[in-house]
Structure 1
Amino acid sequence: MDEEGWFSVTPEEIAIRHAGRCTGHEVVIDAFSGVGGNAIQFARKGCHVIAIDIDPAKVALAMNNAKVYGVEEYIDFIVGDFFALAPSLKGDIVFLSPPWGGPSYKDVQTFTLELLKPVDGYTLFKVAQAITPNIIMFLPRNINLEQVAELCRLSSPPLELEVELNHVQNYLKGVTLYFGSTVAAPPRFSIRM
């Protein structure tokens, strides 16, 4: 991994939880795959993964990491812009872990969907929803949960939402949002709209 990969990769135990929601789904689109942490865990669950990243160096690192884990045959790596590719993509689940702006996200008291990169969270969600209603979003621990609830109303009919607080060694690392068929039954903590 490169320096950015170390602070931006999803911790392995969280990536394993994300992948656990994908059983029974054939194709997972990892829209911002980075060095491949989540793509690898989806592939380990037997999913076919389309791993997209705009940075060719990150894709090369992700390909190497997939070989280390022995899952490279389950992942199609694409160097490209998710937004340009999205209209032609088909998949059962879209996984979104967009850039949070680096470690400085922790300095913001309440992280809003407008702070996500390269576009705001509302736009990102709409683009993913055009592919499938089954969406998993991994966001900063200080995300504005009121805004998260608004995402449900972007669909017709409104989607169910499950919010999972992700801890690593008793430290809140991030928040995962599950939409569509990725919602567990019964959810631990959920907002139904």
Structure 2
Amino acid sequence: MDEEGWYSVTPEEIAIRHAQRSGNGIVIDCFAGVGGNAIQFARMCYSVVAIDIDPQKIEFAINNAKIYGVEDYIDFIVGDFFELAPSLKGDMVFLAPPWGGPSYKSIEKFTLDSLEPRDGFTIFQVAQAITPNIIMFLPRNVDLQQVEELSWLSSPPLEVEIEENYVQHNVKGVTAYFSGAACG
């Protein structure tokens, strides 16, 4: 992995939790990075489509999937999620868009506008065109009211469950499970 991969990969115990909560079927990991979440989804025997715009990240993700022995469960795509989205079909979408690097920690209340490469409302809307079953992994200091607004702005409104994610008794992130994704 490269330096960015180390600070942006989802901690393994959180990625395992996401996979356990994802239900069945095809999972689309829209910002796969070095593959931490895609690998855990694949370990649950789901079919995974792992997308990242950076070819180097996909190379790292392929290598990491081989280490875990799950490369046959993952289709890796180098591409822009926003360009690919209209042609994607899946049962669940996983969103862990870039938070802007380690500096996100210094922001008192992280807003969805701070997500990259587009704001969180746009990212969510594009994902919703694929399926209403969405898992979104966000910074621990995210504005929870904005996260809840994502469900209200949907038509029909989606159910949402928000959970804090801990590693060694420290909050590392927040996960929002929307609609049928809130299954367990």
TM-score by length of 2: 0.98
- Give how far 1:91 is off: 0.2
Q: Which has the higher contact order (CA 8 A, sep 6+)?
A: 2
- 2:171 paired with 1:172: yes
- Give how far 1:184 is off: 3.6
Provide the C-alpha distance between the structure 2 equivalents of 1:56 and 1:37, rounded to a whole number of angstroms.
16
Q: What residue number does 1:22 align with? A: 22
* Structure 1 runs (4+) greater than 3 angstroms displaced: none
Provide the C-alpha distance between the structure 1 equivalents of 2:156 and 2:26, rounded to a whole number of angstroms.
23
Contact 1:22 1:47 in 2 (8 A): no
Q: In structure 2, the residue corresponding to 1:122 is in which secondary structure?
A: helix
Mark the runs of 5 or more structure 1 residues left unpaired by the alignment: 186-193
How many pairs are equivalent?
184
Q: What residue number does 1:188 align with? A: none
Q: In structure 1, the residue corresponding to 2:77 is in which secondary structure?
A: strand
Provide the C-alpha distance between the structure 2 equivalents of 1:55 and 1:134, rounded to a whole number of angstroms.
25
- Give how far 1:155 is off: 1.5
Contact 2:22 2:183 in 1 (8 A): no
TM-score by length of 1: 0.94
Q: What residue number does 1:8 align with? A: 8
- 2:160 paired with 1:158: no
Contact 1:162 1:184 in 2 (8 A): no
Identity %: 70
Paired letter, 1:17: R
Q: What residue number does 2:147 align with? A: 148
Contact 1:126 1:154 in 2 (8 A): no
Provide the C-alpha distance between the structure 2 equivalents of 1:62 and 1:98, rounded to a whole number of angstroms.
16
Contact 1:161 1:180 in 2 (8 A): yes
Q: What residue number does 2:97 align with? A: 98
Q: What residue number does 1:128 align with? A: 127
Contact 2:109 2:142 in 1 (8 A): yes
Paired letter, 2:9: V
Provide the C-alpha distance between the structure 2 equivalents of 1:160 and 1:8, rounded to a whole number of angstroms.
28
Provide the C-alpha distance between the structure 1 equivalents of 2:93 and 2:109, rounded to a whole number of angstroms.
25
Q: In structure 1, the residue corresponding to 2:7 is in which secondary structure?
A: helix
- Give how far 1:21 is off: 1.2
Q: In structure 1, the residue corresponding to 2:62 is in which secondary structure?
A: helix
Paired letter, 1:64: N
Q: What residue number does 1:190 align with? A: none
Q: What residue number does 2:87 align with? A: 88
Summarize the alignment of residues 39-118 of structure 1 with structure 2, pairs less than 5 Å apart. Answer: 39-118=38-117
Provide the C-alpha distance between the structure 2 equivalents of 1:118 and 1:154, rounded to a whole number of angstroms.
21
Provide the C-alpha distance between the structure 2 equivalents of 1:39 and 1:60, rounded to a whole number of angstroms.
13
Q: In structure 1, the residue corresponding to 2:121 is in which secondary structure?
A: helix
Contact 1:83 1:127 in 2 (8 A): yes
Provide the C-alpha distance between the structure 2 equivalents of 1:184 and 1:28, rounded to a whole number of angstroms.
15
Provide the C-alpha distance between the structure 2 equivalents of 1:49 and 1:154, rounded to a whole number of angstroms.
28
